[in-house]
Structure 1
Amino acid sequence: MKNISTVTVKSLNALKALNFFMADIQAGIGPFLGVFLLSKGWQSGPIGTVMSLGGIAGMTMTTPAGALIDSSKNKRIFVVVPGVFTVIASALILFSQNFWVVSMSQVATAIAGAAIGTAVVGITLGIVKQQGFNRQNGLNQAFNHAGNVAGAGLSGYLGLKWGISAIVLLAALFGILSMISVLLIPSKSIDNDAARGLKKTSGENEKASGLSILLCRPLLVLATALACFHLGNAALLPLYGMAAASKMQENAFMFVALTVIIAQLVMIVVSIAGMKIAEKNGYWMIILISFISLPVRGLIASQMISEAGLYPVQILDGIGAGLQSVAVPALVTHILNGTGLINIGQGAVMTLQGIGAALSPAIGGWIAQKTGYSHAFIILGSFALISIALWSFNSRTLMKECAPSPKP
């Protein structure tokens, strides 16, 4: 019993470290890419297009990645291999800013991010099981947001001093530390059946359900509402950074870093608060509030493209993203508990969510180029109104699935 306890403590500490460092290998150089390409003479339309190409590639891989993770007995490899490819992909843009080179870089980064996010959910579930997932996922997200704060702050400073090369090197360092962290999680501490949501009855594991279970109404409503939300949300931060950078070119890297830092600091608090609220009241209201934050954010962004506007815009981003980072994975695991398809289900939801996120930069970028940034922010924010309507209209069906999980 003592050995099991020691292994579990070691695993959870390594899991926290993984979540802290993995942000940079999920997003590569993230929002700094837009500022870098602007400085190389690119316009917002083509920048949005290469980001969308990456998003489309990542979207197509989330469901297959989930299926592989469900069936694999070595879930750690789905962090290590994508991490290596992300570091290489981010470095590509240092050598060439050709449209197709940048596009390939974004495609590789997005595919890696899709696999890593799903793998961490599976690893967490395999360590703490279903009843401990809500609390541990909240802690995971808090550490992940803290890592984003550290990464963004260092990236902004290093970018200001030495340019994009230093940001890429930092991303590589975080990638290496992420891979070390996941390898410090003992493989024996991950229950591969629990990680995919299989239950044991009479000493034997149940068989996985058929894929048709993924077409259940609660999961479809959740995924569709998230797709509409991210159709507006995904482009708002990089576009806001570019809008501000066009006005204050001398400190563009620090401004973009500040947009990330503010949001991520809010997310740390919100993810812990969301975890506690979910334990008492479930997930329905948490997700609704996250949807409501986007139209308000878009309206404020359209009127305040300035350093002062940065604070309310990114506080709202932190509220929306922070609540979803806790509620969505936990709700999917709750809906699919016992099916043996939790990771493919996570991937399927991410695929539909990714459709919106993939299209968002291209739509937002071309709207901004043709009509201006202010109009783009209002239009992007309005897509979440569809999410709010879907979530509210189906509230009776969703309330049961969103109810609090039983305490461990």
Structure 2
Amino acid sequence: MIPSRRSRRSLDWLNFFVADVQTGFGPFVAVYLTTQAWTEVQIGFALSLGTLTTMLSQVPAGMLVDAVRDKRRMALLALSAIALSAVLLAAFPSRLPVLASEVLHGFASCVLNPSIAAISLALVGREALGERLGRNARYASLGGAVAAGVMGLIGTYVSPASVFWLTAALTLPSLVSLMRIRAEDMHVVRPQKKAVDGRLLDLLKERGILVFAGCAMLFTLSNAAMLPLAGVAVTRAAGEEANLIIAACLVVPQLVVATISPWVGRLAQQRGRRIVLILGFSMLPLRGALLALVEEPYTLILIQALDGLSAATLNVMLPLLASDLTRRNNRFNLCMGLFGLAVGVGATISNSLAGLVSSLSSPAAAFALLGGIGLLCTLLAAFAMPETRLEHEQNDKH
């Protein structure tokens, strides 16, 4: 059964506004706390607490979303918690409220993302999930790009705290979009074939889950440090123009993701998952090599377009593969939590590793190492990842 246009469009806008909301908790937190006379050590501790909470919450949050039948209610509670965390930051920039905000936001985000993926699966089913996830990624990228620009302007010309008041306000259109998704358009996705147990240890015995978790960890281990490391070099070479270049390096990949994500979903649906993984992940070693060789600051913007190709791949394929690999037990959100944990581990290690290699050797050596890790990720996907698309799931309705 095809979901109504109202539900499909509401899910589009839900992804757009959720990206707006989440953008407020990016680099703006550090800027805001700096204006409140927080030291670098205090800011680092607060941000690290948020990161640690997110990592530790991935699996429990996935289990919680799996256990609750009404995924819209889980998304509603998560959005409400994120709004509260934004208000805490804006109204009470002292130690305990800020730390509470970071913890609350970390756990709520781990509930919100799988809830939206589960709503998408319930709306369109497994057969059309690839293209639906591509649309989700498109609207999320557009929302993130718009929010970054607007929040940067109001943070500069109104007040740093206004970023978080706006973040809290943006949960309202998110909630409206969520409530406009019709319950009658959502259907329970039942296990295929003979159902098996879906406990955590049983999922860890699945080859595909282990291989893709390894790919996800290697992906962020390779990817997370590339732009920050390049940003240091750009700042030294471009001086006052560095902020403009870095801003462009953030926006360009978002535009690429918005442009190609539906195509990525269709390709995965029609040609298979593994070929998409190989194409997307192969951008990592290419980007690492170019960053190691090219020193012209403005060329960095073009190189960062490759980040959009690889990011679109991960954004679409992570929930799609979680759906594929849990056909027999419906532990979709638990599987997403495992993959999210792998992503968090890779991102946590990446910056420290790249910084260490850069200081001991050179930035070029660090980029070469990151590119080598990306190559390992690509090879793992090419030679160890099983194809998870079933032949009858090909979607020819385009």
Q: How does 1:220-231 map to 2 (within 5 A)?
A: 220-231=210-221
Equivalent in 169, 174, 186 of residue 173 of structure 1: 169
Q: For structure 1, which segment, 244-253 or 59-68, has the greater mean C-alpha deviation from structure 2 after superposition?
A: 244-253
Equivalenced residues, count: 392
Query: What code does the residue aligned with 1:271 have?
Result: S
Given that 2:131 and 2:263 are in contact with CA atoms closer than 8 Å, whether structure 1 keeps it comes out as no
Q: Which residue of 2 aligns with 1:9?
A: 5
Given that 1:266 and 1:318 are in contact with CA atoms closer than 8 Å, whether structure 2 keeps it comes out as yes
CA deviation vs aligned residue, 1:315-350 (integer Å, no higher than 9, x gap): 011010012212221122122223221221122222
CA distance in 1, matches of 2:301, 2:292: 14
CA deviation vs aligned residue, 1:69-112 (integer Å, no higher than 9, x gap): 12212212322222233344345555788888766544433322
Equivalent in 23, 43, 49 of residue 19 of structure 2: 23
Q: TM-score, normalised by structure 2?
A: 0.83
1:188 aligns with 2:179: no
CA distance in 2, matches of 1:286, 1:113: 27
Given that 2:128 and 2:269 are in contact with CA atoms closer than 8 Å, whether structure 1 keeps it comes out as no
1:236 aligns with 2:232: no
Q: How does 1:275-290 map to 2 (within 5 A)?
A: 275-290=265-280
Equivalent in 157, 161, 169 of residue 161 of structure 1: 157
Q: Which residue of 2 aligns with 1:323?
A: 313
Q: How does 1:138-149 map to 2 (within 5 A)?
A: 138-149=134-145
Q: Which residue of 2 aligns with 1:215?
A: 205
CA distance in 2, matches of 1:38, 1:252: 20
Question: Measured at CA, do residues 368 and 28 of structure 1 come closer, stay the same or move farther in structure 2, by a change above 3 Å?
Answer: farther
Q: Which residue of 1 aligns with 2:259?
A: 269
Q: Does the residue aligned with 1:209 lie in a helix, a strand or coil?
A: coil
Q: For structure 1, which segment, 361-370 or 78-87, has the greater mean C-alpha deviation from structure 2 after superposition?
A: 361-370
Question: Measured at CA, do residues 260 and 15 of structure 1 come closer, stay the same or move farther in structure 2, by a change above 3 Å?
Answer: same
Q: Does the residue aligned with 2:127 lie in a helix, a strand or coil?
A: helix
Question: Measured at CA, do residues 106 and 228 of structure 1 come closer, stay the same or move farther in structure 2, by a change above 3 Å?
Answer: farther
Q: Which residue of 2 aligns with 1:62?
A: 58
TM-fit CA distance, 1:351: 1.8
Query: What code does the residue aligned with 2:215 have?
Result: A
Question: Measured at CA, do residues 111 and 301 of structure 1 come closer, stay the same or move farther in structure 2, by a change above 3 Å?
Answer: farther
TM-fit CA distance, 1:238: 4.6
Question: Measured at CA, do residues 403 and 35 of structure 1 come closer, stay the same or move farther in structure 2, by a change above 3 Å?
Answer: farther
Q: Which residue of 2 aligns with 1:385?
A: 375
TM-fit CA distance, 1:18: 0.4
Q: For structure 1, which segment, 360-369 or 273-282, has the greater mean C-alpha deviation from structure 2 after superposition?
A: 360-369
Query: What code does the residue aligned with 2:394 have?
Result: P
CA distance in 2, matches of 1:251, 1:42: 26
CA distance in 2, matches of 1:273, 1:98: 46
CA distance in 1, matches of 2:240, 2:91: 23
Q: How does 1:298-309 map to 2 (within 5 A)?
A: 298-302=288-292, 307-309=297-299
Q: Does the residue aligned with 2:71 lie in a helix, a strand or coil?
A: coil
Equivalent in 113, 117, 122 of residue 121 of structure 1: 117
Given that 1:70 and 1:342 are in contact with CA atoms closer than 8 Å, whether structure 2 keeps it comes out as yes
TM-fit CA distance, 1:24: 3.4
Where does the alignment leave 5 or more consecutive residues of structure 1 unmatched? Answer: none
Q: For structure 1, which segment, 50-59 or 235-244, has the greater mean C-alpha deviation from structure 2 after superposition?
A: 235-244
TM-fit CA distance, 1:358: 3.0
Given that 1:148 and 1:260 are in contact with CA atoms closer than 8 Å, whether structure 2 keeps it comes out as no
CA distance in 2, matches of 1:390, 1:51: 32
CA deviation vs aligned residue, 1:334-383 (integer Å, no higher than 9, x gap): 22223221221122222222221233344446666777765554444433
Given that 1:46 and 1:365 are in contact with CA atoms closer than 8 Å, whether structure 2 keeps it comes out as no
Q: Does the residue aligned with 1:215 lie in a helix, a strand or coil?
A: coil
TM-fit CA distance, 1:34: 5.4
Question: Measured at CA, do residues 248 and 24 of structure 1 come closer, stay the same or move farther in structure 2, by a change above 3 Å?
Answer: farther
Question: Measured at CA, do residues 14 and 36 of structure 1 come closer, stay the same or move farther in structure 2, by a change above 3 Å?
Answer: same
Where does the alignment leave 5 or more consecutive residues of structure 2 unmatched? Answer: none
Q: For structure 1, which segment, 298-307 or 160-169, has the greater mean C-alpha deviation from structure 2 after superposition?
A: 298-307
CA distance in 1, matches of 2:143, 2:24: 13
Question: Measured at CA, do residues 316 and 90 of structure 1 come closer, stay the same or move farther in structure 2, by a change above 3 Å?
Answer: farther
TM-fit CA distance, 1:406: 3.1
Question: Measured at CA, do residues 83 and 210 of structure 1 come closer, stay the same or move farther in structure 2, by a change above 3 Å?
Answer: closer
Q: For structure 1, which segment, 289-298 or 214-223, has the greater mean C-alpha deviation from structure 2 after superposition?
A: 289-298
Question: Measured at CA, do residues 106 and 375 of structure 1 come closer, stay the same or move farther in structure 2, by a change above 3 Å?
Answer: farther
Given that 1:291 and 1:384 are in contact with CA atoms closer than 8 Å, whether structure 2 keeps it comes out as yes
Query: What code does the residue aligned with 2:335 have?
Result: G
Q: CA-atom RMSD, angstroms?
A: 3.5
Given that 2:79 and 2:171 are in contact with CA atoms closer than 8 Å, whether structure 1 keeps it comes out as yes
Identity level (%) = 26
CA distance in 2, matches of 1:295, 1:75: 38
CA deviation vs aligned residue, 1:147-199 (integer Å, no higher than 9, x gap): 112112223333443453343333233333212211222333322x31xx435
TM-fit CA distance, 1:20: 0.8
CA distance in 1, matches of 2:6, 2:222: 40
CA distance in 2, matches of 1:13, 1:180: 12
Equivalent in 333, 341, 359 of residue 331 of structure 2: 341
CA distance in 2, matches of 1:173, 1:238: 30
Question: Measured at CA, do residues 284 and 150 of structure 1 come closer, stay the same or move farther in structure 2, by a change above 3 Å?
Answer: same
CA distance in 1, matches of 2:307, 2:67: 35
Q: Does the residue aligned with 1:120 lie in a helix, a strand or coil?
A: helix
Q: How does 1:82-101 map to 2 (within 5 A)?
A: 82-90=78-86
Q: For structure 1, which segment, 178-187 or 162-171, has the greater mean C-alpha deviation from structure 2 after superposition?
A: 162-171
CA distance in 2, matches of 1:105, 1:360: 25
TM-fit CA distance, 1:37: 6.7
CA distance in 2, matches of 1:322, 1:66: 22
CA distance in 2, matches of 1:62, 1:18: 21
Q: Which residue of 1 aligns with 2:285?
A: 295
